[in-house]
Structure 1
Amino acid sequence: MANLLFYASLILIWMMLLYHMFLMQGGYLHFKTLERVIPKWGKNMINLPTVSVFIPAHNEEVVIGQTLEAMSRLHYPKDKLEVIVINDNSSDRTGEIAASIAKKHPFIRVIETTEPNKGKGKSSALNEGLKQSTGEIIAVYDADNTPEKMAIWYLVMGLLNDARAGAVVGKFRVINAKQTWLTRFINIETICFQWMAQAGRWKWFKVATIPGTNFAIRRSVMEQLGGWDVQALAEDTELTIRVYELGYHIRFFPAAITWEQEPETLKVWWRQRTRWARGNQYVVIKFLGQFFKLKRKRIVFDLFYFFFTYFIFFFGVIVSNALFIINLFYDLNLTIGNISLALWILAFLLFLAEVMITLSIEKTEMNKKNFFYVILMYFTYSQMWIGIVVYSLFLETKRVLFREEVRWYKTERFAQQKMEEKNESN
């Protein structure tokens, strides 16, 4: 029995590795061709729609100033742009700082959440913004984001040139990537997510996931959907499924770039990633329960991907690790043999190869330092995700059984470095 479980878990791990290698190839192909359409699409940027940019903010005094300064530099007609800071029950100087910057820029304004949306989390704050805005296009940025000046222009470009796109998502990069060993790991993880999960799935299946930041969606779509789901901790993934159900697709257009801050301590990282994992588990359970009612079968494929990632794959990893450790102290009569050992070594080398090839897409990221960080990442950071998934599944199960109220955890911010003006020429 132990041998059967071990080999089954090894097969699951290899399935995921090979699938991500396939996605990496798609991501690289998308990277090679994505800019070819920009000159042609740019010719259609004539009768521009109005855009409302939502920035949900709860106790963001550390970062809100730099975020709004980046918003003030956006390349988009200011008479068709409104930047709305949604001050959600902040107890610090968030509202004061935002209001002082808004005085300098008429297209920036600050609103306060009201009941029933007050103090309930990001989804409720976004619903408040939807209620108090007028833009034909809704863009969303987290309060720690500094978008490049062409970000909104490119997001709108994607929507204007693709009538079937209900939303367009851009690329995000880590602004504090070199701050700690943890942010270096997150930087590598983020780049892989952009070019594998987003670009790869878009290239092969025309599927992408709405992230929590740097995306634009048609107001008509949001109104059809009735706003954001306040029960969803991963409101972005949940929204993705519903957009596809309306018959639209979600385009990945990485020409639109934002820079965001990532957790610099394990405590903050753990709490943030737990929220993400719980949110995605909620989405999987919610929509798999409606499996036969889903109209757009393309997104069913994506649901199974999330199900495989957060349930089956991690089950395989946990079982294989547990069997290996137990066998050190108690003989399970495992016949691992040289073939299994070779498969494990090949799995590690495949992981290393696909991550380094993906890093090569970002010109400055394929270097010796990152090579050693990827090796270390395999044995440390990647294994930490196992604990996250198990813990989040426990919390989500407890919430359902005891009908607990969903509580939103806002990621703690850190004093932010001034980003170099890398993109003034963009």
Structure 2
Amino acid sequence: MYKVFDVLEIRKDFPILNQTIHGKPLVYFDNAATTQKPQSVIQAISEYYQEFNANIHRGIHTLAEKATAEYEGTREMVRKFINASSTDEIIFTRGTTESINLVAATFGRQQVKAGDEVIITTMEHHSNIVPWQMLCEEKGATLKVIPINDAGEIILEEYEKLLSERTKLVAAVYVSNSLGTINPVKEIIDRAHAFGARVLIDGAQASAHLDINVQELNCDFYAFSSHKLYGPTGIGVLYGKRELLDSMPPYQGGGEMIKEVSFEKTTYNELPYKFEAGTPNIADTVAFKKALEYVNEISKPVAAEYEHELLTYATESLQEINGLRIVGTAKEKISIVSFVVEGVHHQDIGIILDTQGIAVRTGHHCTQPLMQRFGIPGTTRASFAMYNTKEEIDKLVKGLHRVVKMFR
């Protein structure tokens, strides 16, 4: 573990930051979309292909056994990272989206019937809206939505009114990717369980910033992605309580998820392999362990405290810009600032900032219903990671002053 949090030393671990864009030093403020990767993660991918590239689980030769051990080592690391009770509860997927779709296609199709209800929040990513819409349309169930206030916070009293004995599942985002709002997921879970409903938490944004303890939360499912956690793309996690995963049918058919196959009948494999059909993304899964080790070495609480300093500094600095309005002012937030500038389209802001080497995200951020709630087509979003600096925020503010001057 780092003895002292030194952002300049941390930046040295991320080679992509040492470049210029349009002749300007890169300022990367698109971390909510995907984080950059430390050298240890990049090296781990290369080492896998150079030293022990082989398929896993079924081979008995040395390379296969090495690859299997490294792959399963990541599963154990994930278990510890979120404090699951067993590696049987850790299912590898391609990302948060596939994890949510897996639950919708298995638990959802099995448990949700005509007349039942599924509850989501206004601030959900499309990945936690569309699978439930599809399920409800197929089953004749009803999708209900928890409203939010003008600060971008869930209205718990209205949530209580939506819950009933017809509620089969509540699917809620832990942290909004558009607003940065940290939702009271423990309360959401407890209130749903009081009605016998199950709860899925979308942890895509939360996992890099907050300590995650699935047993303490008592969530039934928890989904997140490696690439938002300083790891590779194409690998994600679904945590599920063992008794639920045991009762759910397989998601896909093929190799690895079976015990025995005949033309008359197939016997399915044990957890977690029942849900992991086919050759997996071995290299990126192996490298994901290095990302988790890196985050543990830095210490997530220490990094989160620094990121909160960045959030506070950015919020205060941006409010000095004439015509700029921050969208999402919840009391509890991670290091995300979304904003609109009067008279300037968010895409124009993004293009002009890019000429200054500043990478931000513009648009609806896959949360169109949330944008409709605020009556806007989209925002400019700056999202900060532990390798960002206040000096970079100063560059963002300077760039936005330039934008305002150009359009007025």
TM-score range for the pair, normalised by the shorter chain length: under 0.3
- Structure 1 length-normalised TM: 0.26
Q: Relative to total residues, which structure has the larger helix share, 1 or 2?
A: 1
- Structure 2 length-normalised TM: 0.26
